[in-house]
Structure 1
Amino acid sequence: MRKITLLEYISLDGVIQAPGGPGEDSDAGFPYGGWSAPFDDPLLDEAVETAHAEMFDLLLGRRTYDIWAGYWPHAGDGPIATKFNGAVKYVATHRPESLGWGPAEDLGTDIAAGIRRLKAQEGPDLVAWGSSSVAAALLEHGLADEVVLIVVPVILGTGKRVFAEGTPPRELKLIRSRTGASGLMIHTFEPAGPLRTGRIG
């Protein structure tokens, strides 16, 4: 069985839309593309290298795939670029015939079923970056084995959220937490079972 790690840039109010740059995702008129850029931090480079230290394949939404397809094939032959270009890209898409940055396969019409099938196979672990559609499927169906939140100290007030209305309640166990000089925080969680409730005091 393959381990699945979900990595997300996230604002303090839970927004994950377009952290990387203007125009990345302007759905619903989102005006703040690139909100994570002012908080670039050496800590992030370490986290990315750690997450991709072993062989892996990628789970991507179509928008993330298209953005990366325009960047990584031209990013030189550094270790991260080499791994990203060589990884199999499993993509949530309605246009599987246009997956030119390979190796690549579509997840099929049922994203959760496609991910569940991949998870049950033998092979490299799977890393999911960004993508509200893939993240939602992982969280709704309990398919993520590790959740890494790259928390940027901003409040956006609008935008797509990773923990959207209807996300099933559950607990996560914090297994690692680091804070960079910029204020960027990286929290790593693993599933810890169903939500418990109680009374304080």
Structure 2
Amino acid sequence: MRTVRIIEHISLDGVIQAPGGPEEDRSGGFDHGGWAYPHHGHEAGMAIDKAQGQGFDLLLGRRTYDIFAGYWPKQTGPMADSLNGARKFVATHRPDSLEWGPAESLGTDIPAGIARVKEAGGPDLVVWGSSTLTPLLIAEHLADEVVLLVFPVVIGRGRRIFSDQVQPSELTLIASKATPQGVVISTYKPAGAMRTGSF
């Protein structure tokens, strides 16, 4: 059984859209792309390398797949080699246009497709971005770990990691550290339904 690990650059107010550059994702008129760059240091890079591991496959929503496909094939270095060489499993209605390979569609039943890929065995499945896929992974109990790199910025609007479709749930913190640049890196495991109470 594969581990599904969500890794996200996230603002203090939950935005994950376009952390890497101004042109990464301008959908919805988003003009704050590149917000993670000023705070991204060596320690954050090391945390990403550790979370991804040496060998992994990618589990992506279509928008993130297209963004990555337009960028990573033109890059060189260890990160580019890892992402370009990874097998990509994509939530898409256009399976015939997955040119950045090796890649395959998850099919029309996305939860069933993810479960099939997870159960088939192989390297860990890493999820980047994919703001419509991450809530589904949590809601369907298919995510095993959530690694958040929380940046000291407030953006106000943009695509967020979790939408209103997420069912109330809890996560257990298993590791946390802060970088000199103020990025808090926290790793969680899903822990079931949310509890409530009163003080």
The two structures share one fold, judged by TM-score above 0.5 = yes
For 2:106, the equivalent position in structure 1 comes to: 107
For 1:116, the equivalent position in structure 2 comes to: 115
For 1:22, the equivalent position in structure 2 comes to: 22
What per-residue deviation string (whole Å, max 9, x for no partner) do you get for residues 12-35 of structure 1?
Answer: 111111212223222222221211
Give the distance between the partners of 2:189 and 2:156, measured in 1 at CA.
27
1:36 paired with 2:36, answer yes
Runs of 4+ aligned structure 1 residues displaced above 6 Å come to: none
Give the TM-score, by structure 2 length: 0.92
1:147 paired with 2:150, answer no
Q: Which 5+ residue runs of structure 2 have no aligned equivalent?
A: none
Give the distance between the partners of 2:71 and 2:163, measured in 1 at CA.
29
Shift of residue 86, structure 1, vs aligned partner: 1.8
Shift of residue 169, structure 1, vs aligned partner: 1.0
SS in 1 for 2:191: strand
Tell me, yes or no, if the aligned pair for 2:139 and 2:167 is still in contact at 8 Å.
yes
Give the TM-score, by structure 1 length: 0.92
Give the distance between the partners of 1:63 and 1:166, measured in 2 at CA.
18
For 1:89, the equivalent position in structure 2 comes to: 88
Give the distance between the partners of 2:28 and 2:49, measured in 1 at CA.
33
For 1:6, the equivalent position in structure 2 comes to: 6
For 1:71, the equivalent position in structure 2 comes to: 71
Give the distance between the partners of 1:92 and 1:17, measured in 2 at CA.
18
Equivalences, count: 199
Q: What amino acid sits opposite 1:70 in the alignment?
A: G
Q: What amino acid sits opposite 1:152 in the alignment?
A: F
Give the distance between the partners of 1:113 and 1:21, measured in 2 at CA.
33
Give the distance between the partners of 1:127 and 1:184, measured in 2 at CA.
20
Give the distance between the partners of 1:13 and 1:73, measured in 2 at CA.
31
Shift of residue 163, structure 1, vs aligned partner: 2.1
Shift of residue 168, structure 1, vs aligned partner: 0.7
Give the distance between the partners of 1:112 and 1:31, measured in 2 at CA.
32
For 2:50, the equivalent position in structure 1 comes to: 50
What per-residue deviation string (whole Å, max 9, x for no partner) do you get for residues 31-57 of structure 1?
Answer: 212111111111111112102224211
Shift of residue 164, structure 1, vs aligned partner: 1.6
SS in 1 for 2:132: helix
Matched-pair identity in %: 56
Give the distance between the partners of 1:141 and 1:69, measured in 2 at CA.
27
Give the distance between the partners of 2:166 and 2:71, measured in 1 at CA.
32
With over 3 angstroms needed to count, the CA separation of the structure-2 counterparts of 1:20 and 1:80, relative to structure 1, is: closer
SS in 2 for 1:183: coil
For 1:80, the equivalent position in structure 2 comes to: 79
What per-residue deviation string (whole Å, max 9, x for no partner) do you get for residues 179-199 of structure 1?
Answer: 111111111001122211222
Q: What amino acid sits opposite 1:112 in the alignment?
A: P
Q: Supply the RMSD in Å over aligned alpha carbons.
A: 1.5
